Structure 1
Amino acid sequence: MKTDLNQDAITKQAANFVARLYSGELSAEEENEIYAWCDQSPQHQQEFDNMLAIWDSSNQLFQTAAPVKKKKHTYWYTGIAASFVCAVLAIWFVALPPSVSTQQVAHNEPNRYHTAVGEISTVGLPDGSIVTLNTNSAIKVDFSGSQRRILLERGEAFFDVAKDATRVFSINTGEKTIRVIGTKFNVRKSDATLKVSVAEGLVAVQSSTLPSSDQIDFEEAETLLPAGSIGAFNGTSEVIAQVTSKEVNASQQWRQGIFRFDNEPLAKVLTEFNRYRLKKITLENQALGKLKISGVFKLKDGDSILSALEAALPVEVERYPEYIELTAKN
């Protein structure tokens, strides 16, 4: 009975968080509270995913049921510095079978895991570590010998590393190797840069050309990133910044299947969305890319941003077989 009561409380809390998330009034402090709560246990994360799945189901029902009028979104803008916030229907407590989840297990081959464009997947490793792969990402796993080795072939991943002082956990990204004992951090690899955001613990970063030992000497580390720091690496250059928990959490908000933008250029927002889309969104000219945008969006509802943009900004949507273009409104 106690277990049932605890489960009921967890489910209700997850529903409250999702309702607040889509209320259009979520504060930065509340967003951090959601991240912290989901990280407390896999059960919390599972129930949060369940509530997001409920939103997907309920949203489809609202769209297909003719007699029901959909709640209108509220948008506003002033000149070229326009911004908007999506107002959505609140979700209250609904029971859902435990098997329902917004995340899937990554496609796997022997010791290799990858996601397609638009997928976010979770992988459990033999040592108890958990890796969440973002869209179009791939890793190879080698736990032979005295080290736990990961090769990040492409994309982005969040690592929740089980602590094991006897076996170093390392991620080879090509030019850099990230080495830890047990910690939580996000790694994003692109053609030009490598970005590492540390949520917990210590992360050592060194050139992949340097030899690796079975132990980590953090005092001798080439680059050391403590919790609350973000490192950006480009060739032989690097920039290290101590940031707030809000900024660290922002680097991993994709794990909850959401985007949050605060007065960001439209060009940057579309670059992020296009990572999850096969049919890309383009801009007619660079001036449109300077328009500012704020809001909270779900990854699964990528096309909802198009109607929002038309309502909030001086743009029109032109659809073509292979892409979508935003043009200046006449």
Structure 2
Amino acid sequence: MNSNMNQEVIQKQAATYVARLYSGELSAEEEMQIYAWCDRSPEHQQEFDTMLAIWDTSNQLFQTAQPKKKKKNTYWFTGIAASLVCSVLAIWYLANPAPAPLYQASIPKPNIYHTAVGELSTVGLPDGSVVTLNTDSAIRIDFTGQQRRVWLERGEAFFDVAKDENRIFSINTGEKTIRVIGTKFNVRKSDATLKVSVTEGLVAIQSSSIPSREPIDFEDAETLLPAGSVGAFNGTSEVITHVTSKEVLANQQWRQGIFRFNNEPLGNVITEFNRYRLKKITLQNRALGKLKISGVFKLKDGDSILSALEAALPVEIDRYPEYIELSARN
């Protein structure tokens, strides 16, 4: 009974959060609360993903019902939306007692995991650790009774590492090797830089050319990143910043399948969205890239940003077979 009641509470909270997310009134503080709640347990993340899927399959029932006087009616709207989501959830569960994951990963071999462009996947590793892969990402693993080794071949991944003091967990990214015992952190690898954001615990980073020591000697590590820090590395330098937990979670918002931009240059927004698209968006000139935009967008609905851009900015969209171009509106 208690277990069922607890599950119902989690479902209602997830429904409320999804409704708030698309209410048009979500504050930055509330958004960080959602990320923190999802990160608190796998059950929270699973229910949130399920609610997002239900929102999609119910033809976005609530987006067309937003009241004009937002501030006065926001919480009334959120309550109704959350109740409707829960109702749809009950029907959906009866028809689908064992729902499929929102995203599926391709697993060509037992020790290789990868995602396609626009795909997200959460996979469990043999030691109990959990890895969430972002778009167009790949990892290779080698786990034995003495070691836990991972190679980040490309892309971005969030690691929730199960603690095992007898087996160091290492991630080779090419030039750098990340070593932990048990912690939570995000790693993003690009052609030019490596970015590591630590949510929980302590992360040791060193050059891959330096032999690893067992156990970890944190005092001798080249770079130490505690919780609440972000490290950016390239071939010749590194930049370490210490930020709030909200900022660290903001760097991982892709795990919820959404992006939120606050007065962000259009060029940066397009660059980020193109990571999830096969048909890329281009700008006719650099001046367009300086325009600013704010909003919440779903990764699954890649063209939603195009509608938002047309409505919010002085741009027009031209669609071609191989790409989409934004130009200044005449």
User: Matches of 2:209 and 2:67 in 1, distance apart?
Assistant: 53
Partner SS state of residue 157, structure 1? strand
Conserved? CA contact 2:55–2:61, under 8 Å: no
Task: For 1:196, give the aligned amino acid.
Answer: V
Task: Provide closer, same or farther for how the CA distance between residues 61 and 245 of structure 1 changes in structure 2, counting only shifts above 3 A.
Answer: closer
Partner SS state of residue 269, structure 1? helix
Task: Provide closer, same or farther for how the CA distance between residues 268 and 209 of structure 1 changes in structure 2, counting only shifts above 3 A.
Answer: same
Aligned to 1:33: 33
- Count of residues in correspondence between the two structures: 312
Aligned to 2:248: 248
The structural deviation recorded for 1:105 is 3.9
User: Matches of 1:238 and 1:195 in 2, distance apart?
Assistant: 10
Within 5 Å, which residues of 2 pair with 1:97-112? Answer: 97=93, 99-112=99-112
Aligned to 1:83: none
Tell which has more relative contact order, 1 or 2 (C-alpha 8 A, sep 6+): 1
Conserved? CA contact 1:151–1:171, under 8 Å: yes
Moved more, 220-229 or 103-112: 103-112
Conserved? CA contact 1:105–1:121, under 8 Å: yes
Partner SS state of residue 20, structure 1? helix
Aligned to 2:319: 319
The structural deviation recorded for 1:91 is 4.5
Aligned to 2:289: 289
TM-score (normalizing by structure 2): 0.90
User: Matches of 1:317 and 1:2 in 2, distance apart?
Assistant: 53
Aligned to 1:156: 156
Aligned to 1:200: 200
Conserved? CA contact 1:231–1:241, under 8 Å: yes
Aligned to 1:279: 279
Within 5 Å, which residues of 2 pair with 1:205-216? Answer: 205-216=205-216
Segments of 5+ residues of structure 1 without an aligned counterpart are 63-68, 75-86
Conserved? CA contact 2:197–2:230, under 8 Å: yes
Percent identical residues = 75
Moved more, 272-281 or 211-220: 211-220
| Cα RMSD for the two superposed structures | 2.1
Aligned to 1:266: 266
Q: Deviations over 1:203-250 (max 9, x none)?
A: 000000000122111111100000000000010200000011121011
User: Matches of 2:108 and 2:131 in 1, distance apart?
Assistant: 13
Normalized per residue, the structure richer in helix is 2
Task: Provide closer, same or farther for how the CA distance between residues 24 and 246 of structure 1 changes in structure 2, counting only shifts above 3 A.
Answer: same
Aligned to 1:180: 180
Partner SS state of residue 104, structure 1? coil
Aligned to 1:81: none
Aligned to 1:238: 238
The structural deviation recorded for 1:23 is 1.2
The structural deviation recorded for 1:7 is 1.2
Aligned to 1:10: 10
Aligned to 2:146: 146
Task: Provide closer, same or farther for how the CA distance between residues 183 and 236 of structure 1 changes in structure 2, counting only shifts above 3 A.
Answer: same
TM-score (normalizing by structure 1): 0.90
Partner SS state of residue 58, structure 2? helix
User: Matches of 1:71 and 1:51 in 2, distance apart?
Assistant: 18
Conserved? CA contact 1:152–1:173, under 8 Å: yes
Task: For 2:275, give the aligned amino acid.
Answer: R
User: Matches of 2:273 and 2:82 in 1, distance apart?
Assistant: 25
Partner SS state of residue 196, structure 2? strand
Task: For 1:245, give the aligned amino acid.
Answer: S
Segments of 5+ residues of structure 2 without an aligned counterpart are 69-76
Within 5 Å, which residues of 2 pair with 1:7-156? Answer: 7-59=7-59, 70=64, 90-92=81-83, 93-94=86-87, 95=89, 96-97=92-93, 99-144=99-144, 146-156=146-156
Conserved? CA contact 1:106–1:122, under 8 Å: no
